[in-house]
Amino acid sequence: MMGARGGDSSVAASLWKMRTMIVWFSVASLACTALMYVAVGPWVESNIRARFDSWYPKKIEVRARHQPPWRDRPDRDDNRNIEFPGLEQILERATMPNRTIIVTTLNQAWAQPNTMIHLFLESFRSGEDIAHYLDHLVIVALDQVAYDRCRELHTLCYMLKTEGVDFSGEKFFMTEDYLRMMWRRIYFLKHVLQMGYSFIFTDADVMWFRDPFPRFDKDADFQMACDKYTGIPEDLNNLPNGGFLYARSNKRTIDFYEYWYMSRHDYPGLHDQDVLNQIKADQDFLDIGLRLRFLDTYVFSGFCEVSKDLEQVCTMHANCCTGLHRKLNDLRLVMEDWKRFNLLAYQSKRHQRIYWRAPRQCLLSFGGQP
């Protein structure tokens, strides 16, 4: 009997120790979990929410039609008397057989020796079989210095004159002159569409590496790069970037550009891509029936959302970056990395990974530093 009682007490003691260990382990686990949540919980939560939002995009609330109808508004096209002398001749020289051209704009600040326009043109020559697209590139100069520089470097230059506006200096993001320059560009591109030409518009701070045309949706009217891509090309929650886009000339794209240009009056102080972000929820915009697609940042990359796959990337845009010197510094790194990648043999590319070193200086753009 004594042996039985001793065995029972030993078992009880063991059970008590086990329960104590379980309790302490549970308390310690809860404490560690709490500390981890305090440390990284917001980061985990934001990433889970971002992933959830990419899988299940937020529903866009559609805004009512304009009253009176937008086509009847007197300010729909308040520049209708502006003419573009000589443009038809330039476009005829530049066009591909399917009446498609490539367009960029240039001002004095970006036309200085060994700056942006030189990097831009170099990217075509360093890319994979895309140098021939320079024969279809129209550089639209916004001032006389830019036009003269263009004539030294390129054969297809067009002078876009704007009375009473000086577009020659560096236009800092969201200043009054910057906004005028952006909207002048939208109006010009609308006119190109009306002339029956489709186009790729590309900012000069977009480096080209591969042919983009095979990556476009053949059924879309208008395709646009993104600052942030949700993973779904039709998703209106994508954040658009007007620095790289492809527009097919048809009634839908012309109506869209007219509506986009008119809408600057409804959103004073916003630039073109922010206005687009607003009007994409308008019923008037949806009535146009534009087949809109957003381009994957995995292929059409930028500093906002950098693609890590040099085997697939077509373009790299110095977006999410302010200041010419920052853009130049980081785009030079991009071009150096691209050339290092191309020097590798085919087999080496599979085993020796090269990553973009940029952005670096551009990371300081919105940190309050000059």
Rounded to an integer, what distance in angstroms lies between the CA atom of residue 319 and that of residue 321?
Answer: 5
Rounded to an integer, what distance in angstroms lies between the CA atom of residue 284 and that of residue 118?
Answer: 41
Asked whether residue 144 is domain-assigned, the answer is yes
Out of 246, 276, 298, a domain closes at 298
- Band (pLDDT 50/70/90 cuts) for residue 320 is very high
Identify the pLDDT of residue 215: 98
Q: Taking residues 52-62, what's their average pLDDT?
A: 54
* Residue 242 · residue 276 · CB < 8 Å: yes
Query: Do 273 and 199 have their domain in common?
Result: yes
Identify the pLDDT of residue 180: 82
Identify the pLDDT of residue 69: 78
Identify the pLDDT of residue 50: 43
Structure-model confidence comparison of residues 80 and 175, the more confident one = 175
Identify the pLDDT of residue 70: 73
For 166, 172, 361, the CA distances from 323, given in Å and listed in that order, are: 19, 7, 10
Residue 37 has a CB neighbour count (10 Å cut-off) of 12
Rounded to an integer, what distance in angstroms lies between the CA atom of residue 246 and that of residue 262?
Answer: 20
Torsion sign (Cα): 154, 160, 163, 164: negative
Task: Report the mean per-residue pLDDT for the chain.
Answer: 84
Domain tally for the chain?
Answer: 2
Q: Taking residues 302-316, what's their average pLDDT?
A: 96
Asked whether residue 113 is domain-assigned, the answer is yes
Owning domain of residue 153: 87-298
The predicted-structure confidence for 202-259, as pLDDT tens digits, reads as follows 999 999 999 999 999 999 999 999 999 999 999 999 999 999 999 999 999 999 999 9
DSSP line for 255-308: HHHHHHHHGGGTSTT--HHHHHHHHTTBHHHHHHT--EEE--TTTEEETTB---
Least confident interval from 23-37, 51-65, 231-245, 264-278:
51-65
User: Does residue 174 register a pLDDT over 70?
Assistant: no
Query: Do 275 and 340 have their domain in common?
Result: no
Identify the pLDDT of residue 36: 57
Asked whether residue 116 is domain-assigned, the answer is yes
Out of 298, 329, 353, a domain closes at 298
Asked whether residue 1 is domain-assigned, the answer is no
Rounded to an integer, what distance in angstroms lies between the CA atom of residue 233 and that of residue 87?
Answer: 33
Query: Do 256 and 284 have their domain in common?
Result: yes
Q: Taking residues 273-286, what's their average pLDDT?
A: 91
Out of 283, 298, 313, a domain closes at 298
Q: Taking residues 31-36, what's their average pLDDT?
A: 61
Least confident interval from 94-108, 303-317, 336-350:
336-350
